[in-house]
Homo-oligomer: A and B are copies of this chain.
Amino acid sequence: MFPKNAWYVACTSDEISDKPLGRKVCNESIVFYRGADGRVAALEDFCPHRGAPLSLGRVVDGKLVCGYHGLEMGCDGKTVAMPGQRVRGFPPIRSFPLIERYGFVWIWPGDAEQADAAKLPHLAWAESSEWAYGGGLYHIQCDYRLMIDNLMDLTHETYVHASSIGQKEIDETPVATRVEGDEVITSRMMENISAPPFWRMALRGNGLADDVPVDRWQICRFTPPSHVLIEVGVAHAGKGGYSADAAHKASSIVVDFITPETDTSIWYFWGMARNFRPEDKALTESIREGQGQIFSEDLQMLEQQQRNLLAHPARALLKLNIDAGGVQSRRVIERLIAQEQATTPVASAAA
């Protein structure tokens, strides 16, 4: 169960080259490609002629040509032409609202009538030359909400990521969780602790001493349908922590766009945006590799947790203080799904 009237990241801009890209999003098999105007189009991955996947075809002059018998498809889902055949009467296939922004391709898998560009999140860091971004994509066999739980409760860092970003002070420091409209924010402030390896690396990368006590913060922000942006950082202790002057801290934003593929699998777009030394591409790559390694440690846990839950569907999980972020995020999601089901036109639901 996921909201369908929402913007999800379908892919990164650079995943769409001269070949069409086939990807399932929210249980819909979709083909992505660039039309003649360079804009990305998203269509059902199903040729109306004989059902071949259009993603096995090619893009010729901005038209998607089916790789089986050459049917040419327009970006609006209407058949344009087919050699030697009359195709004007072909029923159109479904096209999906789509926005390419911030280096990502965002898709609206629900009711196209309700697609609203204003609902796209605004990512200031993605538009500023003072920030650099690096990230990657993992395909994970778990319900997207398990990943939201994971990111809205960072105590797991101490256990899953013990050698990089985990430290016992995370467990020992309580979180504060609040809901603001559809957003959920859960934050943890740790004072006068030693920095774990990843952050010592970041301090050095930022030209700061890495062997002195620091204040550390984690501010996780869930926004629907399934985005989690986390402000993280350390400052030399006593300089103001989260509010310290840039000269005393290393900070960044952990970026998590979680897109359901099916009910029990996700496309997980992870990355990190930082506003120090943005021009240093080697540093970007080094952070990306480190983060990729750390985030890969969650995969086995999430997939086996999912299997355990599927095997015990009736079993209630416990909700502790540390789970408040995930619990509140799930409430927002449930509310949105209920709203969606109440307002979806019957015809569209039937389709």
Distance between Cα atoms of A70 and B173 in the complex (Å): 14
Say if the beta carbon of A84 comes within 8 Å of chain B: yes
Query: Which one, B69, B156, B172, B320, contacts A322 given CB within 8 A?
Result: B69
Contact between chains at B149 and A50 (CB < 8 Å):
yes
Number of A interface residues in the complex (CB < 8 A): 51
Say if the beta carbon of A212 comes within 8 Å of chain B: no
Closest to A158 in B: B70
B residues near A84, Cβ cutoff 8 Å: 155, 171-174, 321-322
Distance between Cα atoms of A4 and B53 in the complex (Å): 31
Interface of A is mostly: loop
Number of copies: 3
Of A109-117, A191-199, A309-317, A332-340, the segment with at least 4 beta carbons within 8 Å of chain B is A309-317
Contact between chains at A171 and B322 (CB < 8 Å):
no
Distance between Cα atoms of A67 and B158 in the complex (Å): 9
B residues near A82, Cβ cutoff 8 Å: 320
Among A316-344, those with CB < 8 Å from B are 317-318, 320-323
Closest to A45 in B: B308
Say if the beta carbon of A295 comes within 8 Å of chain B: no
B residues near A53, Cβ cutoff 8 Å: 304-305, 308
Say if the beta carbon of A66 comes within 8 Å of chain B: yes
Say if the beta carbon of A12 comes within 8 Å of chain B: no
B residues near A174, Cβ cutoff 8 Å: 84
Which 8 A-B pairs have CB atoms at the shortest separation, nearest pair first?
A: A83-B171, A52-B305, A53-B304, A85-B320, A51-B308, A51-B309, A70-B159, A69-B155
Say if the beta carbon of A160 comes within 8 Å of chain B: yes
Distance between Cα atoms of A315 and B91 in the complex (Å): 12
Contact between chains at B49 and A83 (CB < 8 Å):
no
Distance between Cα atoms of A305 and B50 in the complex (Å): 8
B residues near A300, Cβ cutoff 8 Å: 56
